[in-house]
Amino acid sequence: DTGVSQDPRHKITKRGQNVTFRCDPISEHNRLYWYRQTLGQGPEFLTYFQNEAQLEKSRLLSDRFSAERPKGSFSTLEIQRTEQGDSAMYLCASSVGGNYGYTFGSGTRLTVV
């Protein structure tokens, strides 16, 4: 499968725990994006990388959130001290350049209890 892969598909965690999600983009795509989506809303931009450089972070990304893309390939998104409001679908997408359509992964659905 040469699409965007995300792991895990589902994560249930207790409030206060840390969680980490992984995204493997399409190999020839140099841009990687993280979005968050809650019920009834469209995906909201969190951050993006061009190769290994993190070029932009949304104000939605509090200091409990950190993302890395160490070798310009896969990326991780970590949430520390999770809160119930963090419950959402976390979507990763990749693209060639910034103004082309993105390919999304299947997402990681996080539930904080």
Partner 1 sequence: RKEVEQDPGPFNVPEGATVAFNCTYSNSASQSFFWYRQDCRKEPKLLMSVYSSGNEDGRFTAQLNRASQYISLLIRDSKLSDSATYLCVASWGKLQFGAGTQVVVTP
Chain residues in the site for partner 1 (CB under 8 A): 33, 35, 40-45, 48, 56, 91, 93, 98-107, 109
Nearer to partner 1, 42 or 70 (CB): 42
Nearer to partner 1, 36 or 79 (CB): 36
Nearer to partner 1, 76 or 103 (CB): 103
- Alpha carbons 77 and 47: distance in angstroms, whole number: 10
Residue type, 4: V
Shortest Cβ distance from residue 105 to partner 1 (Å)?
6
Q: Strand 19-24: give its sheet, edge to edge.
A: 5-7, 19-24, 75-79, 65-68
Shortest Cβ distance from residue 93 to partner 1 (Å)?
8
For 85, phi and psi rounded to 5 degrees? -70, -10
Nearer to partner 1, 14 or 59 (CB): 59
Shortest Cβ distance from residue 33 to partner 1 (Å)?
7
Q: Sign of the CA dihedral 49, 53, 59, 63? A: positive
For 84, phi and psi rounded to 5 degrees? -60, -30
Shortest Cβ distance from residue 112 to partner 1 (Å)?
18
